[in-house]
Amino acid sequence: MRKGNSKKSNKYRRRKSNFVLKLVVIILIFIVLIFAVDYCSTKTNIHNSATDTVHDVKTQIQDSAIDIMEDILPKEKKAEENAGSTKKAAESESGIFIFPENLELPVCAASKNGTAPDHQIRRFKNYVVCYRESYEQAEWAAYCLEKEELVKNASRGDDFRADPEITTGSATLADYKKSGYDRGHLAPAADFAFSEEAMSESFFLSNMSPQAPGLNREIWQYLEGQVRTWADRFGKVYVITGPVLEKPAEAYDYIGENQVSIPEFYYKVLLVPTHESLMSIGFIIPNKKCKDTFWNYAVTIDEVERRTGLDFYSLLDDHLEDKLESEYALENWK
């Protein structure tokens, strides 16, 4: 039934397109004739009610022609022309989603204003973080993981190192040494096994946060593995991860000489395409050993935004964004 309707719809669109094309040609011919009359009247200095009428009709036809041409422009061309706008169309009339570039990047103080105190946007080749010097860690790490990247071309190197690009100085290996906390990846190394360079970049300490071993090596690791399963199932997944920094830095316990704050919770928000629409979900998990499953920590993205002060997936159409972030259907993710 759907295929039949699709064929009829395509046939109708072709007929409509041919009709519009013919109409445009006729209008263009009229415009040429009118310009010819207009030109002759100007050259001969003849000015009367007839030439006034010609001018009026010419203007009306020009406006109509412009409207028609804009209406039949390919949607891809219109998307390119609107690429500089803040909001990007997420869904075309045909139901095919157009994903804006950098959809995964959340809006924070730095990305909103270009720069902000205590914020530094650090761009790696395959992911981006926003580093907070006062907490000595990133408040978010964002990337898009695609199905084609789920290949293992690189082994885990464990080359943890300070990030020389953090202007205020990142956390160091000494900060974590004998602290009792793991150097927990925000953007996980296993998501970047498709190349040696990508794997290596994931080990900068600007991508680390102090995680309890019972979290990092168990429930958090299981959730990271599930993200790769979703990338394989849905084709791609937009991922944003970070610590929940909802209190001033001085209110947290810390490790090391650089006073790396120990977060009490971590979040992960996800967006995937489906055949019919988009799906999104959030997770907030305490920084401790959890005996239950990560499914029990699912929340709406609205809840994560409330706790973190960030704005996720802001490039989506406002109506769609509001709907996606206010609800989630757990059964669709299992």
Dihedral sign, Cα of residue 175, residue 178, residue 184, residue 190: positive
Q: Per the residue annotation, which of 47, 119, 185, 275 is the catalytic one?
A: 185
Helices (H) and strands (E) in the chain, counts: 10, 11
SS3 content of the chain, % helix, strand, coil (to 5): 45, 20, 35
- CA angle centred on 269, ends 224 and 175, rounded to 5°: 60
Q: What 3-state class would DSSP assign to 41? A: helix
**Quick check: is 185 catalytic?**
yes
Query: For residues 211 and 214, what is the distance between their CA atoms, to the nearest angstrom?
Result: 8
Question: For the stretch 122-161, what's the b/e string if a residue is b when 16 or more beta carbons lie within 10 angstroms of its beta carbon?
Answer: bebebbbbbbbbebbbbbbbbbbbeeebeeeebeeeeebe
Q: How far apart are CA 74 and CA 252, in angstroms?
A: 54
Give catalytic residues, as residue numbers: 185
